[in-house]
Amino acid sequence: MGKIVVALGGNALGNNPKEQLEAVINTAKPIVDLIQEGHTVVIAHGNGPQVGMINLAFDTASNIPNMPFPECGAMSQGYIGYHLQNAISEELRRRKVNKNVATVITQVVVDKNDKAFQNPTKPIGSFYSKEEAEEQAKKTGDVFKEDAGRGYRRVVASPLPVDVVEKDTVKTLMDAGTVVITVGGGGIPVYVDGDKLIGIPAVIDKDFASAKIAEILDADYLIILTAVEKVAINFGKSNEEWLSKMTIDESKKYIDEGHFAPGSMLPKVKAAMMFAESKSGRKALITSLEKAADGIAGKTGTIVIK
């Protein structure tokens, strides 16, 4: 049995509070499967739709001060964690597994000079038509980009994680047997200024943050969950091929050949590579939520190894 960090994709959470409350009931089941098998499980998750929704609500509300983006990230961590920990706790009780579940509001250190701040790429919030996006951009000064043929979304910087501020707290809870929900939405981005931690408007990719906390916790496995069972090359083409295993060198080759979409599979593959490269014997698994336990058992999914 091993230590596992599970990175939940957006499809595990839904797009609004009502959808999320329903989605997490199903999300909890495969997570508790892993716990019941004896694994130590730490959970990370995205927050793109949620943080965008919170930010937009404050932007459009009258007579309410504008809410800084790091605080919007903290709010999203809190309410997503609240839903997840209740759903997982309920499933554990239903199966008579005696485990506590806790959400840690987590800050993640970034480099304030990261080049990502010069080129915002991380989509958040709702989809807009081109006209609506142009109107919003004029009104707010935000940057909007087209997102995978689905419409236009606001984009913010996505710097790389350097460190996790609450890592010792997460480790203490994990070692005590608690199921920990951490680095929600990639963590609240902060930079170090002397003795201070200063919040900075950005969204850290949750897959990279998951790889960082998995590395810090000396996890055996990083499971990056997505909408598909395996990673594919030549996706959607006649010569489409689903992969059961990728080495670091093979992954680099496929990235260079342009097989993975930047807003979709590319960050997942890169995060898997980061974790697999961080120490000998570490494995990353990319698969769907429903297949997580089968993937750990070697029956499906795409394993990324050194």
CB-based contacts of 125, cutoff 8 Å, min separation 6: 48, 49, 51, 52, 53, 55, 56, 153, 154
Output the six-digit token pair for 97. 């597994």
Please indicate whether residue 268 is annotated as part of the active site: yes
Please indicate whether residue 100 is annotated as part of the active site: no
Output the six-digit token pair for 65. 């001060």
DSSP letter assigned to residue 116: G
3-state secondary structure of 178: coil
Please indicate whether residue 125 is annotated as part of the active site: no
**Taking the chain, what is the end-to-end CA distance rounded to the nearest angstrom?**
21
Active-site residue, from 52, 125, 184, 206: 206
DSSP letter assigned to residue 240: -
Active-site residue, from 2, 3, 11, 29: 11
Please indicate whether residue 283 is annotated as part of the active site: no
Q: Which residue has the tokens 């997505």?
A: 226
Among residues 271, 260, 181, 259, the alpha carbon closest in space to that of 225 is found at 271
3-state secondary structure of 68: coil
Please indicate whether residue 149 is annotated as part of the active site: no
Active-site residue, from 10, 52, 125, 185: 10
Active-site residue, from 9, 47, 55, 122: 122
Active-site residue, from 167, 212, 230, 268: 268
Asked if residue 157 lies in contact with residue 120, where contact means CB atoms within 8 angstroms, the answer is yes
Question: Which sequence positions are flagged as catalytic?
Answer: 10-11, 122, 206, 268
